[in-house]
Amino acid sequence: MKLSEAFKRRPLLIAYICAGDPSPESTPEIVELLARAGADVVELGLPHSDPIADGPVIQAAAQRAIEAGMNTNVYFEMASRIRADLPLVFMGYYNMIYQRGLDKFAGDCANSGITGLIVPDLPPEEAGPLREACEKAEVDLIYLVAPNTPAERIPIIAESSSGFLYLVARAGVTGTRSEVLLSTKALIERVKADLPKAVGFGISTPEQAAEVIRAGADAAIVGSACVDLISKGDLEGLENLIRGMKLAIREVKPIEAVARI
């Protein structure tokens, strides 16, 4: 499924997991569980040795996954085995893409059912070549906007992005947080874009997810909270979390077919 298709039924819940944690075999099942519990999109993280945008929870997961045998080849094989009917999005660092070759990487995404890429260490200034490769392969390249992104930069990022726009809820790295910051709400208001806005970094509870949707986001992204539960082997907890989040965001806005897009 394409992202544009998925975003016709907002608000969405997007779940991030680290592919290959705890083992490469476990990931397809976890994705299917997420889909069953109500996730609308799954971000499949490719673990990197040096994840500079990630906090301790995802760093540790990446390290475990690499030790369990995760690499880019295994990643694409695994992705093509996932049978859930939802868009899969790649999330990972640029060097991993660069080493495989930009065209090959984008093509492998398209061939294994991945419809978009999020590359947290690739600002639009450096993304020209990958953007070209993604256009050729017909996959989306999703950019990030941060709370400290200046006003004049937002339109530049919004225009380069496709699929959706990733709003980083807080300065710093991924991880869980106890509250949704005022700056997050301000950011949602500040960003004027035709693309759907998905808010991530620090969202770990149904209340927080509901809050960002109430503030005008089209999707809530939950990452570290999922990864944390997976690391504890608590798949039941994971299923409950996703169910709870989905319920909470639906209460904010009933599902409606959105005409714009």
* Cβ neighbours of residue 199 closer than 8 Å, sequence gap 6 or more: 167, 169, 184, 187, 188, 212, 217, 219, 220, 221
- Does residue 43 carry a catalytic annotation? yes
Cβ closest to another protein, residue 7 vs residue 76: 76
Q: Does 250 bind another protein (CB under 8 A)?
A: no
How far, rounded to the nearest angstrom, does the alpha carbon of residue 108 sit from its chain's CA centroid? 18
Q: Does 254 bind another protein (CB under 8 A)?
A: no
Cβ closest to another protein, residue 82 vs residue 122: 122
* Cβ neighbours of residue 150 closer than 8 Å, sequence gap 6 or more: none
Residues comprising the chain, all counted:
261
Which is catalytic among the residues 40, 43, 140, 228?
Answer: 43
Q: Where are the alpha helices (DSSP H) in the chain?
A: 3-6, 26-37, 56-67, 72-81, 94-100, 102-111, 128-137, 154-160, 182-190, 206-214, 224-231, 235-252
Cβ closest to another protein, residue 2 vs residue 153: 153
Q: Does 123 bind another protein (CB under 8 A)?
A: yes
Q: Does 122 bind another protein (CB under 8 A)?
A: yes
> Which one among 25, 29, 50, 179 touches another protein, defined by CB under 8 A?
50
- Does residue 54 carry a catalytic annotation? yes
> Which one among 3, 143, 227, 238 touches another protein, defined by CB under 8 A?
143
257 DSSP assignment: E
Which is catalytic among the residues 5, 25, 50, 54?
Answer: 54
Q: Does 81 bind another protein (CB under 8 A)?
A: no
Q: Does 160 bind another protein (CB under 8 A)?
A: no
Q: Does 41 bind another protein (CB under 8 A)?
A: no
Beta-bridge partner residues of 166: 144, 198
Cβ closest to another protein, residue 170 vs residue 185: 170
Q: Give just the sign of the alpha carbon dihedral 152, 158, 160, 166.
A: positive
Beta-bridge partner residues of 45: 18, 91
> Min. distance of Cβ 158 from another protein in angstroms?
12
| CA 86/CA 130 separation, integer angstroms | 24
Residues within the interface to another protein (CB under 8 A): 48-53, 55-56, 59-60, 63, 66, 71-73, 93-100, 120-123, 125-126, 143-150, 153, 157, 168, 170-173
Active-site residues, by number, are: 43, 54
